[in-house]
């Protein structure tokens, strides 16, 4: 595991965007595993900047998002589908047919999960997976539990996740209680993983995830075993490491 110490959020974002650039430059039809949340927004902004300068071409790129809230349709501004289009997709030349995000509005969640697994398998797995980390150690929406859940599944969100994410909603009660997330095995099978962390709120969990024993109680701890995983954090997030 490599740790990249960035001076601040901008530097973290730039370093992450450069890793995406490197990946796309080497293989233009790469499969990118993408994340939502506050942390990767700066990375998306740099990628848009690179695209506007003509330095990166997403025309062949495939993208697979980590997760989606159950019950929110793609045009709901709180959905991760909407987030991805607003923050990234609509600004670059990614083809619509190459974008994959679980459909949170489909009531047959079991089928959505099965189909999503198949899609990831059919496009050849993830080349570069971008991750954030929850304050409880979740990656995607794989919440702490008794076991690592390997494939795409429906998860009941932890109370700490609901509290963290209520900042995006008018009221805590509006935060969906369930989500669809790709599983730990699918994340782990990505050829390359980049985990982004910013701010002192992530310092304690990063320390536990990277230095404590591997346990499903801290889902991100599994990344200790990955052969090509880079943590890019700013000083505040990495100060305990």
Active site residue 143: yes
Could you say which of 33, 104, 132, 176 contacts ligand PGA (CB under 6 A)?
A: 132
Q: Which stretch binds ligand PGA (CB under 6 A): 4-12, 34-42, 102-110, 228-236?
A: 34-42
Active site residue 153: no
In the bound state with ligand PGA, the residue whose beta carbon lies nearer, of 134 and 144, is: 134
| 219 contributes a contact to ligand PGA by CB under 6 A | no
What's the rounded Cα separation, in Å, for the pair 185 and 86? 29
In the bound state with ligand PGA, the residue whose beta carbon lies nearer, of 115 and 145, is: 145
Strand ranges inside the chain, DSSP E: 2-6, 31-34, 62-65, 67-69, 99-100, 128-131, 153-156, 178-181, 192-197, 229-234
Active site residue 67: yes
Could you say which of 9, 30, 37, 182 contacts ligand PGA (CB under 6 A)?
A: 37
In the bound state with ligand PGA, the residue whose beta carbon lies nearer, of 102 and 132, is: 132
What's the rounded Cα separation, in Å, for the pair 217 and 105? 29
Contact 232, 198 (CB under 8 A): no
| 102 contributes a contact to ligand PGA by CB under 6 A | no
In the bound state with ligand PGA, the residue whose beta carbon lies nearer, of 132 and 176, is: 132
For residue 92, how many other CB atoms are within 10 A of its CB?
17
Name the nearest CA neighbour of 127 among 31, 24, 6, 232.
31
Contact 137, 204 (CB under 8 A): no
Report the catalytic residues. Answer: 67, 136, 138, 143
Residues that bind ligand PGA (CB under 6 A): 37-39, 132-134
């Amino acid at each position: 595991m490599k740790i990249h110490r960035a001076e601040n959020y901008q530097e973290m974002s730039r370093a992450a965007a450069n890793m995406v650039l490197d990946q796309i430059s080497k293989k233009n039809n790469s499969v990118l595993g993408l994340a939502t949340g506050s942390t990767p927004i700066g990375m998306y902004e740099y990628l848009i900047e690179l695209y506007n300068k003509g330095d990166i071409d997403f025309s062949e790129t495939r993208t697979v998002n980590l997760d989606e809230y159950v019950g929110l349709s793609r045009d709901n501004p709180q959905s991760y589908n909407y987030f991805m289009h607003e923050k990234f997709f609509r600004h670059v030349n990614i083809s619509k047919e190459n974008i994959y995000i679980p459909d949170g509005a489909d009531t047959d969640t079991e089928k959505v999960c099965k189909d999503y697994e198949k899609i990831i398998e059919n496009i050849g797995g993830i080349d570069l997976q971008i991750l954030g980390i929850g304050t409880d150690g979740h990656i995607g929406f794989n919440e702490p539990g008794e076991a690592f859940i390997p494939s795409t599944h429906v998860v009941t969100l932890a109370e700490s996740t609901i509290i963290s994410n209520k900042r995006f909603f008018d009221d805590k009660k509006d935060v969906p209680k369930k989500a669809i997330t790709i599983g730990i095995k699918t994340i782990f099978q990505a050829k390359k993983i980049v985990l982004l962390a910013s701010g002192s709120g992530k310092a304690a969990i990063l320390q536990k995830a990277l230095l404590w024993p591997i346990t499903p109680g801290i889902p991100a701890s599994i990344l200790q075993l990955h052969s090509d995983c880079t943590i890019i954090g700013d000083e505040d997030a990495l100060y305990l490491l």
